[in-house]
Amino acid sequence: MVTLIVPGFNDTDAELRDIARFLVSVSPDIPWHVTAFHPDYKMTDRDQTTATTLRRAAELGVGEGLRYVYAGNLPGRVGPFENTSCPSCRALLIERVGYTILRDVLTPARGVCPSCGARIPGRW
């Protein structure tokens, strides 16, 4: 699931929590990608989404119980929210910067965390 975060349009804590709660009600394993808005083409009356706002949105998603939350469109500026970590032991499984994978210990392990043995949903 991807949510484009547009400043002044859908970036309140309440709205972001509502989205996260809905996703959790379907499955806490749904990956939620919060992505930065850039004022291009015909919608130029809004500011670009900041890295701080994206991190806040991602933290709200984790706080509501989502296990896989990612922040995007600002490579290298959103901290751990570019990576995949084990929801059981928090071990780093896939490290990314933007679309570049720097390290992947999950795919060779066929979807099992090598640190704790937790099964990670996905196609491996």
Q: 30-64, pLDDT tens digit by residue?
A: 999 999 999 998 999 999 999 999 999 999 999 99
Which among 100, 98, 117 has a CA at the least distance from the CA of 109? 117
- Tell me, yes or no, if the pTM score tops 0.85: yes
**What is the largest distance, in Å, between two alpha-carbon atoms of the chain?**
48
Could you give the residue ranges of the DSSP H alpha helices within 50-107? 51-63
Q: Which amino acid is at 43?
A: M
Phi and psi at residue 23, to the nearest 5°: -60, -45
Q: 55-98, pLDDT tens digit by residue?
A: 999 999 999 999 999 999 999 999 999 999 999 999 999 999 99
